[in-house]
Structures are given as structure tokens and as C-alpha cells.
Amino acid sequence: MTGAPTQLMNDALQLLQYLIVIPSFSKEEQQTAACIMHWLQAKGIETKQAGNNIYARNLHFDERKPVILLNSHHDTVKPNPGYTRDPFQAVINDGCLYGLGSNDAGASLVCLISIFTAYYDRTDLPFNLVLAATAEEEISGSGGIELLLQDTAFREYTAYSQSWSAIVGEPTLMQLAVAERGLLVIDAYTEGVAGHAATQEGVNALYQAMDDINTLRVYQFDRVSPFLGPVQVSVTSIETSNKQHNVVPADCRFTIDVRVNELYSLEEVLHILQKQVRSRLQVRSLRLRATSIAEQHPLVQAGMRSGAMPYGSPTTSDKALMPFPALKMGPGDSARSHMADEFIFIDDLQKGIDGYHALLQNIIAYE
């Protein structure tokens, strides 16, 4: 690599500290976008912007070569009420760096940026590298990776084609998240007939909804993923428009959260569930699809040669919005994401840099 490992580690730590002190809630990432752009430009790297998304390509970009996209996000959730530390103070204590976004996904982002700078001017790469620090991941917003991949200037600059693959930086303890659940949020509507509760008139829509909820509670999908297990269905909220104690409700609405494995399409799951219930089902979005990358893919094989192991991730990331094979991998622990007093172990930054470097080197070695 160009640059000593110690320098890459120091760079990653310093940039992460800079990012932590800048509030960057989803849709409000202008300042972190500017920080990342200035950081890359100070390294002599040509950098471009689309919305709050920052991107760059390696110096000796060759349109004849395939592209590996190095992607992570710089937006954060809002700090939860349990914080005992200032979420915007990048404090190092006892081998840990504290601060909002340090684990999810600041550590992954700065490690990918460090690796990109190290490989930026190499002339011997059998692939191109494109770096994308993107926005709105935490809300699955349309102004993040989805906007970038559709941006005409980005597509022309990076010779966008289907010969792409991606490393998506998210906290996975540097293991290989080869499969990821999709998300289907469904609004269910049940219609009854209003009546007086004292005379047992009408048709109680709430009771009809409860029958459907019980059906959904016990329903089991046939296909079980070796990485993600079965499709999971949860009813998470319920309400009627009626607020009076003596009126039989004429309508009821409840929300269904469905975590879909890679063996079903979202449309297929919706169709199956509609057949099980009388309520009318209306899906909010079909964007966040379950994804998988074949174990035979060069990215996965390279990671396994480095000693990392494949697994299925229960969480959803920007991987769901990429129309090409993507491997989710990064330093930090997903269990610490969105927790109070979020932190990353300083050692995890070195593990991230080393792990990404080993993965790319294994690809080069087997080309």
C-alpha cells in the first residue's frame, strides 16, 4: 500500500473524530459531506458531489476493467435519550472512541476512505475502485445511494455498467454478510359496520382484524434460508378511527413488519399474505429487497481466504438498493448501532484497514 499502515490508521482515526463532532442526521449531512470532500481533496484526489453524496475514482481508472465500489454512509440517527456523554464529542477513553456514528458506520467509512487513498494511484490494479460516501442510509432515503447510482454525471464519470460489485461498509466484526433481509412494511385495512356496543349491533372491525392478526402470527413460509432463516412476520401497531367506548368500530388499521429472506421477492410475499387474510393489504414500498451474493463471487472468496466467514445479516443497508453483487463488511459490532454512548474500539480501525486491504490483495493475487 502507498503509505505506512500506521499513517492510514492515524488518518482514519483523525477523520472519524472530525466527523463525530459534526451533526449529520439523515437529510442534514451537508457539513459532513463538505468535510469528506475537503479531506480527499487535501490528499490530491479529484472528488465530486451529487446531493450530499461524495464520490471519487482511482487515478488510473480504466473503462475496460470492472469496478469495485467502496461504499459507506455518513448520516446518523438522532441520539437516543439514554446518552450519558455528549454524542458530538469524540472522546477517547480506555481504548474506545465514543461519539454518535462512531460504530454505525463511521468506522467503516473512514477505513474504506483510508484504503481508497492507499490504492488511489496504483497502476497494477486488475479492477477500478470507486469510493462513495453516501447520505440518508439510516432512513433508506431516496437522496442517498439510490440518487447517486441514477445520477448521469456519476454514471458517466465511473463508466457505470453491470460489471460492478461493491463492498458496503457496515459493522459486521469484519465478517462477510453475504445475505441480508429485505423489509416489507404493510398497512392492513379492515372494514366493519358501526353500531352501538350495548345492543351488539354492527360488525366489529377490530375483532375481524384480530382474527387476521392471529392468522399472521402462526403462518409459516415454506422456504427457509440457510443464512437468514424463515421469513419473519410481526404486527407492530393497531388502531381504529373510533375513540368512543360505546361504539363498535367500523374500521381498523394495523401495520405488518415483514423481514424477507433472499428466497422470496417482496411481491411474492405480499401476494401470499393477502391470500391468508380478509383485511386489505397495502404495501408502503418495494425498494428494500432481500439480497445475497454468491459464495463463489470473487469478493466472498477473497474474504474467506483472509479468514473471514460468511453469514446472514438480519439488518437492512444500502446493499438492498444496489442492482449488482454487494458484500457487507466492516469494523464494529452491529449490536452497538444506535445504542446510547455509542463507541468503537480503536483497535477495530486497524482491523478494518487490515481486513479491507487483505480482501483486495486476495482479489489481485487470484486474478
Q: Say what the pLDDT of residue 95 is.
A: 96
**Which DSSP helix (H) or strand (E) runs through 233?**
strand 232-239
- SS3 assignment, position 53: strand
DSSP string, 152-221: HHHHHHTT--SSEEEEE---STT-EEEEE-EEEEEEEEEE-B-EEGGGT-SB-HHHHHHHHHHHHHH---
Q: Which residue type sits at 280?
A: R
Q: Say what the pLDDT of residue 199 is.
A: 86
Q: Say what the pLDDT of residue 1 is.
A: 54
Q: What angle do CA 298, 103, 315 make, to 5 degrees?
A: 60
* Cis-peptide into 42, omega within 30 deg: no
Q: Say what the pLDDT of residue 2 is.
A: 45
> Which domains occur in the chain, in start order?
5-179+290-365 (3.40.630.10), 182-283 (3.30.70.360)
Q: Say what the pLDDT of residue 5 is.
A: 64
Helix intervals (H) in the chain:
5-20, 30-42, 107-119, 145-150, 152-157, 205-218, 266-276, 298-305, 346-365
DSSP string, 315-347: S--GGGG-SS-EEE--SS-GGGTT-TT-EEEHH
By CB atoms closer than 10 A (0-12, 13-18, 19+), residue 43 is middle
Q: Say what the pLDDT of residue 3 is.
A: 46
- Residue pair 139/27 in contact (Cβ under 8 Å)? The answer is yes
Look up the pTM and report it.
Answer: 0.90
Q: Say what the pLDDT of residue 197 is.
A: 86
Strand order in the sheet with 232-239: 232-239, 251-260, 182-191, 280-283
**Mean pLDDT by groups of 10 residues along the chain of 367 residues:** 72 98 97 98 98 98 96 96 96 97 97 98 96 96 97 97 94 97 96 90 94 98 96 97 92 97 96 98 94 96 96 92 97 91 97 97 89
Residue with cell 474500539: 345
CA torsion sign for 345, 348, 350, 353 is negative
Q: Say what the pLDDT of residue 225 is.
A: 95
- Residue pair 318/145 in contact (Cβ under 8 Å)? The answer is yes
